[in-house]
Amino acid sequence: MTTSSNPLITALEAILADASPRLRLPVEEVLVIRVEAARWPDSCLGLGERGEACAEVMTRGYRVRLRGGTTYRTDLNGNIRLEKRTIARPE
């Protein structure tokens, strides 16, 4: 995988690397359905776990939905979080 200076490319590379084994698909078969710019309420992208230290700072990033309803949150540095609840929607 190459390193990019484009925050969206960096985020998508991280998501594809995480989603491929999770979905049991080759990276080239993981389909991105939607990408939306987002602002998260903290450095944990609004998905901090109990006891986890998250800086309370607005964090710019993206919400990325994959085919099948899997959704990720990212920041502009390529840090990703999988939303626990996925919603299966027709694509």
Q: What is the pLDDT of residues 7-37, one digit of tens each?
A: 999 999 999 999 999 999 999 999 999 999 9
Look at residue 86 and tell me whether its pLDDT is greater than 80.
Answer: no
Select from 14, 24, 65 the least CA-distant residue to 1: 14
* Residue listed under structure tokens 């960096």: 10
Look at residue 70 and tell me whether its pLDDT is greater than 90.
Answer: yes
pLDDT at 85: 65
Look at residue 55 and tell me whether its pLDDT is greater than 80.
Answer: yes
Q: What is the mean pLDDT of residues 75-82?
A: 94
* Residue listed under structure tokens 């694509």: 91
pLDDT at 91: 45
> DSSP code of 82?
E
